[in-house]
Structure 1
Amino acid sequence: MEKSIFSTTRQYDLDWIRVLATLAVFLYHCSMFFNPFPWHVKNNQLDSGGILAFSLFVGSWLMPIFIAVSGISVVYTLQRRTGSVYIRERLVRLGVPLLFGVVFLTPPQVFIERVTHNQFNGSFFDFLPHYFDGLYLSIGGDGNFAFFGLHLWYLLVLMVFSLLTLPLFKKISRYNKFGMIHFFILPILLFLVGPIKTVNLGGWDIIFYLVLFIYGYYFLSNEAFKPALRRTIRIHFSIAIITSIVFIIWFMKAFPKPGTINDIIFYSVHALNCWSWLLCIFFLADKHLAFPNRFLKYGSEASMPFYVLHQPVIVFLGYLIYDLSWPMPAKLIFLITVSFVVIMLCYQLVIKRIPVLRFLFGIKSTAILKKGSASNAISQS
């Protein structure tokens, strides 16, 4: 009988990865206000040093770790749900927050982007009738309707992946073996999909994420994965550190021209860096975070509404201070501190206490939580 890492014990390390990665997304989007990358609102002074380096380092593995954990979690979910229940749950718990974000949280962000990019003059209420003028496809573009919810693209992608891969997961069974070859298969696959250009989200193409999602289901969920990872972790840490240094310095000093040999090598370094850090994160979580506590229980429930709400709050507060003459460290401290406090107050005092808001922000009802506490944290992905 096929075994999985979920067959005997709760995988608290995966819960921790999701909670901590959500906090990392928050810090990453705070850094987007200051770094040179295009974003919805930018500070009047940009940083091409430490903040940019932080953005490059975190952005390399941040959304891929969400996708990989989500792929692993499908194993857990399908062990306890039929395919139809699995799809229905995904549509509700991901689709409802996405739709809510598109309707209520995205228009203010697009408005702020248009105003700060000198693409619109007028009040927010003047802008609202224009929200459905064309599709929003990129920062600074012409269309306004962001059907994917801007930062909520992850929810849309996860829903699409769930629908596309379920027939594959049902038809092709997983295996209970994990060898050294599996540490090489994924980086090779990620390199091969590099030339495919479809939709770039969070620094990677959507096909890149699909490969990670499927790999998480078939290989990273295997019970032999963690023992093999422990035996080889020194290699992965060495590769992760070396490729991080090369990737960040290369990007900041001499970003290669698209289509050149250097561009191919640069992408290879970037993909290998991503894969190596994923392995290191899984190892560190398994070694140091394989336990529950009150913070994990609280964070597991709060992670979805925190994720949904964090960018609109950061963008709005950034809009309030972007043209002020404050020194950059003061703005950075203000943005991180005040944004976090506002998000947590909204969650603790409002969202958590009102049933309809719990539903809109993707939180299970109290009754469901009590009935199914064994699967609460992981089933969010």
Structure 2
Amino acid sequence: MGHQNRQYNLDWIRVIATFGVFLYHCSMFFNPFPWHVKNNELDSGGILVFCLFIGAWMMPIFFAVSGISVRYALKNRSVIAFFKERLLRLGVPLVFGVFILTPHQIFIERTANQQFHGSFFEFIPHYFEGVYLDFGGTGNFAFFGLHLWYLLVLLVFSLLTIPFFKKVPSGGRFGLVHLWLLPLILFASGLIKTQGLGGWDLIFYLIVFIYGYYFFSIGEFKTKLKSTIKVHGILALITTVIYIVWFTMAYPQPGSIKEILFFGVRTVNCWSLLLCIFFLADKYLSFSNRFLKYASEASMPFYVLHQPVIVLIGFFIRDLSWPLPFKLIFLVSISFILIMGCYHFVVRRLRVLRFLFGMKGIRGKIRPKRPTL
């Protein structure tokens, strides 16, 4: 029953977005934005443009898909069972990441910025000194696991919203008004400043998450989206160009009218790109195959592992005099090989590591399929 109703397009979106996050963090090594470790030569051209485009939709699509997934998950299990699964799938990898995969990244940042002199083992006791809040700060303990903030935020969102979801059940109609209402709500959310992560505020992500639960998961959403996709496609194209050119040519002053308009362009851009992604995935990726099954299972361990590996390799190659394109290819390819090698040959084969990386337990030996009646 679960497989017949499974939305394979959502699995594809998750897999593609996870790979997008990997490429995004590889590019963070080269672009002008602050990061844990930077290359000796930075790029404000193609790599920066790539970062701006990916960053426009990357994390919002994760929260939108997560909202849809919660809708399906609550259909098949109790609230207690749902919370238990969330703690195991999100909480365990988060704690593992905070204590095992994060210390060396903070050590590398402190060493690269001349804030610490000594070996990694000498640094370990200092890892618990102060709270790490942003690049270039002084606190070291990253309780959110750096790139694993998504797991923490999704866990908190789930705990906060489930009582609300249960009291206000889904199942309403999806009208065209909803396609145009959300960008207005998202734009209004810009008035509330809580904590910016991954390019957007937490309130922004919460709205997308709730919208995913109530509206993106309704069948009528696809029908209405199909009838208006040309408008969203044109909007996505126009706002992408305006956003990237505006950002690179003259970023508006904080608090100015131009900044408010700029946020409006970003919001419409994010929204229209999300709709285009949902449309294209539904049209072309509503199927499963062996690759998707493998990649879906690998996506969480890959997400947890990718940044610790990228930061480590970046640290060793940052001062080498290689041409930037060669260094980029090296970082992407070697990081990918190491992450996938670690997952394929180690993580997925050991029960304890599967547990620590938020995976399901190993099933019994593969048995031959019985003929279907």
Q: Distance in 2 between matches of 1:7 and 1:125?
A: 48
Partner in structure 2 of residue 283 of structure 1: 279
Among residues 227, 238, 263, which one is paired with 1:267 in the alignment? Answer: 263
Q: Distance in 2 between matches of 1:11 and 1:45?
A: 43
Does 1:22 find its partner at 2:18? yes
Partner in structure 2 of residue 327 of structure 1: 323
Q: Distance in 2 between matches of 1:274 and 1:211?
A: 13
The Cα RMSD (Å) is 1.3
Partner in structure 2 of residue 173 of structure 1: 169
Partner in structure 1 of residue 356 of structure 2: 360
* Number of equivalent positions: 365
Does 1:39 find its partner at 2:38? no
Does 1:188 find its partner at 2:180? no
Does 1:141 find its partner at 2:99? no
Among residues 128, 146, 150, which one is paired with 1:154 in the alignment? Answer: 150
Q: Name the amino acid aligned to 1:315.
A: V
Among residues 60, 77, 83, which one is paired with 2:73 in the alignment? Answer: 77
What TM-score results when the alignment is normalised by the length of structure 1? 0.94
Conservation of the 8 A alpha-carbon contact between 1:176 and 1:223 = no
Q: Displacement of 1:144 after TM fit?
A: 0.1
Q: Distance in 2 between matches of 1:139 and 1:319?
A: 15
Q: Distance in 1 between matches of 2:114 and 2:106?
A: 12
Range with bigger deviation, 46-55 or 117-126:
117-126
Partner in structure 1 of residue 333 of structure 2: 337
Does 1:106 find its partner at 2:102? yes
Q: Name the amino acid aligned to 1:28.
A: Y
Partner in structure 1 of residue 370 of structure 2: none
Distance of aligned partners of 1:82 and 1:350 in 2 relative to their CA distance in 1, 3 Å threshold:
same
Partner in structure 1 of residue 244 of structure 2: 248
Q: Distance in 2 between matches of 1:166 and 1:336?
A: 38
What TM-score results when the alignment is normalised by the length of structure 2? 0.96
Distance of aligned partners of 1:178 and 1:94 in 2 relative to their CA distance in 1, 3 Å threshold:
same
Does 1:95 find its partner at 2:91? yes
Q: Name the amino acid aligned to 1:104.
A: I
Q: Which runs of 4+ in 1 moved over 6 A?
A: none
Q: Distance in 2 between matches of 1:182 and 1:222?
A: 12
Distance of aligned partners of 1:357 and 1:249 in 2 relative to their CA distance in 1, 3 Å threshold:
same
Partner in structure 1 of residue 200 of structure 2: 204
Q: Displacement of 1:366 after TM fit?
A: 2.2
Partner in structure 2 of residue 378 of structure 1: none
Percent identical: 64
Q: Displacement of 1:91 after TM fit?
A: 0.8
1:235-272 deviation per Cα after TM superposition (whole angstroms, max 9, x unaligned): 00000010000000000000000110000000000011
Distance of aligned partners of 1:112 and 1:289 in 2 relative to their CA distance in 1, 3 Å threshold:
same
Range with bigger deviation, 330-339 or 168-177:
168-177
Distance of aligned partners of 1:84 and 1:369 in 2 relative to their CA distance in 1, 3 Å threshold:
farther
Q: Displacement of 1:117 after TM fit?
A: 1.1
Q: Distance in 1 between matches of 2:107 and 2:339?
A: 20
Partner in structure 2 of residue 379 of structure 1: none
Partner in structure 1 of residue 234 of structure 2: 238
